[in-house]
Structure 1
Amino acid sequence: MIFTKLIGMFVTQPTMTVAKLVRGEDETSTIVFVHGAGGSAGTWMMQLRGLSDRLRVVALELNGHGDTPDREPEDVDGTYLEDIKRIVREYQKPILAGHSMGGALAQLYALKYPDEISGLVLIGTGAKLKVHPNVFDAIDSGMDKYLELVEQFMFSKETDDEVIQASLKEIRQCPRSVIRRDFEMCNNFDIMNEVSQIDLPTLILVGADDLMTPPKYAKYLHENIPNSEFHVIDNAGHGVMVEQPSELNSMVMQWTERILNLSD
């Protein structure tokens, strides 16, 4: 399945310069997804399709990603949090979900605006996201070099090549300067001493073969966030939401139905 074919099923809506994809009924509970470094709303195509029978699914695009214009911010995480706030406040206490860098931002949002969301879904992320210098070297060497690194480290060896190539095509659309900025933000992210202050129902998911944010990162989150639930998904790496979408969607839906007391 190719993301660019699916993208035609949805409408990108600019909202105060923050673009988003939306699928699902207006009267249903909402989950807002935040992509990782170099990503876009296309990261969440399988969630837009797989969860929208029961939820309104919103996938936003952060500053400089996808169809959201780049304001070239000096305060990167502050600007990204403002983007998330603009979307979250359109809905009534949505669940906030994030992958990797998006998971870091979701944690920061939960600490800063806990009353605005009803829960967190943290996917392939950690309380600290130190970046290996090789990542910056690869980015500085050109997009092809960076994508070689992504292909080598982002996916499980069990992942179909079609999924990998679709993901690489998606990442290629993001400017290298934005990707580098994203990883610089990740490299500076460290809330290991604050994460225990998160006081929201939290679902923590990670691929068993994740080399970028290995399961021990997720386990630390689980051990330090009260009222959290933790699952490791087999045959998936850092791109777990595209590598094993059905299993991830099932876990998200079951947890969401439970914390929101959804009924048929």
Structure 2
Amino acid sequence: MSTVVDSVVLVSGWAMSAEVLAPLAQALEQSGWQVQAVSLAEAEGSTWEDLYTLLNSKVGQSLPVLVGWSLGGNLCSRFAAKYPDRVSGVVTLGSTPSFIARDGWTQGKHPDAYQQFADGVAANIQGAMKEFAPVCARGSHDLKGTIRALRASAKWALEQNTDWCDLLNRLAEDARSEWQQVQCPAVHLLAEQDPLAKASIADDLQALLPGQTVKVLDGSHAIFLDHTDAVVDVVTTVRNKNKEGGA
């Protein structure tokens, strides 16, 4: 029978390695957590079912807290909604249920901006990723260090046999209804200077998810690098809420 233990599964973002999460993994381990980190590149394919299968293989019987960055956070919320008995909590970092603006979600990216980036990825993913790292690092407490870490992470990811163009399409999908179905304690962290999962979605996200928690921190899309200790504290809070039977 599954039991709640201090177990965490970290899920990286689009076109990134699991290694980029190493500082957060180390901080969690030093706080007594059992940690696994996973890249989306480890999935057998690029559909949601492929991604669920990957995450399911990491979850095991430990009822972990799922911590996902960007697209990884979207996956964690979707997984928790689909498999409520498999997880004890969710923390998303720089993530959004709808990357693109749409009806009732006006603070997302304009569809044309998304399409321009997607076209650039399709035409020259290496060049697109070189420019993507500074975007993700914008507002970071350590701008140069964050850019280096993200570019190294992307370099590894792009060497894998992964259809990153198709995975990018997952960002374009609307997961608001799935996020609303999450039953376990959940906290969603956004960053003030993040141009991707913009802090301006916070009010809409909180209204969408009244039983979950939305917090805005300073810094960049790479929240786990800017606020490593704060993320550890949030993960611990989510775990404690689960043990207390809270939401």
Q: TM-score range by the shorter chain?
A: 0.7 to 0.9
Partner of 2:234 in structure 1?
251
Match status 1:47 vs 2:24:
yes
Match of 2:69 in 1: 99
Deviations 1:14-51 (A, max 9, x none): xxxxxxxxxxxxx9511111111012211311111101
1:156 aligns with 2:133: no
From 143, 148, 166, give the equivalent of 1:181.
166
Aligned to 2:151: 168
Match of 1:113 among 52, 62, 83: 83
- Normalised by the size of structure 2, how large is the TM-score? 0.81
Superposition deviation, residue 124 in structure 1: 0.9
In the TM superposition, 1:108-147 aligns within 5 A as 108-130=78-100, 132-147=114-129
Q: How far is the alpha carbon of 1:167 from its aligned partner?
A: 1.4
Measured after TM superposition, the shift of residue 144 of structure 1 is 4.2
Q: Which moved more, 1:223-232 or 1:166-175?
A: 223-232
Does residue 77 in structure 1 map to residue 48 in structure 2? Answer: yes
- Residues 133, 150 of structure 2: 8 Å contact kept: no
Gap change, CA 1:219 and 1:82, over 3 Å in 2: farther
How does 1:25-44 map onto structure 2 within 5 Å? 28-44=5-21
Distance 1:166 1:86, change over 3 A: same
Once the two structures are TM-superposed, the CA of residue 258 in structure 1 deviates from its matched residue by: 4.3
Corresponding residue to 2:181 among 193, 197, 213? 197
Choose which of 43, 60, 63 in structure 1 pairs with 2:38.
60
What's the offset of the Cα at 1:213?
0.7
Tell me the distance in 2 between the aligned counterparts of 1:122 and 1:206.
8
Task: Indicate yes or no: 2:206 matched with 1:222.
Answer: yes
| More relative contact order, 1 or 2 (CA 8 Å, 6+ apart) | 2
Of Structure 1 and Structure 2, the greater helix share is in: 2
Change (3 A) 1:194 1:41: closer
- How does the TM-score come out when normalised to structure 1? 0.76
**Does the residue aligned with 2:176 lie in a helix, a strand or coil?**
coil
Give the conservation status (yes or no) of the 8 Å contact 2:17–2:156.
no
Unaligned runs of 5+ in 2: 101-110
Deviations 1:177-230 (A, max 9, x none): 63222211211x212244322222101111111100112334433322243122
Note the C-alpha offset of 1:152: 3.6
DSSP 3-state at the match of 2:183:
coil
- Counterpart-to-counterpart distance in 2, 1:258 and 1:200: 9
Root mean square deviation of aligned Cα: 2.3
Where in structure 1 are there 5+ consecutive unaligned residues? 1-26
Structure 2 CA distance, aligned partners of 1:223 and 1:59?
Answer: 31
Aligned pair in 2 of structure 1 residues 31, 203: CA closer, same or farther (>3 Å)? same
Percent identity of paired positions between Structure 1 and Structure 2: 19
Q: Which residue of 2 aligns with 1:239?
A: 222
Number of residue-to-residue matches in the alignment: 225
What is the CA distance between 1:158 and its match in structure 2? 4.2
Query: Whole-Å Cα distance in 2 between the matches of residues 170 and 137 of structure 1?
Result: 22
How much does 1:78 deviate?
Answer: 0.9
Quick check: 1:210 aligned with 2:203?
A: no
Amino acid at match of 2:167: D
Task: Give the match's secondary structure for 2:167.
Answer: helix
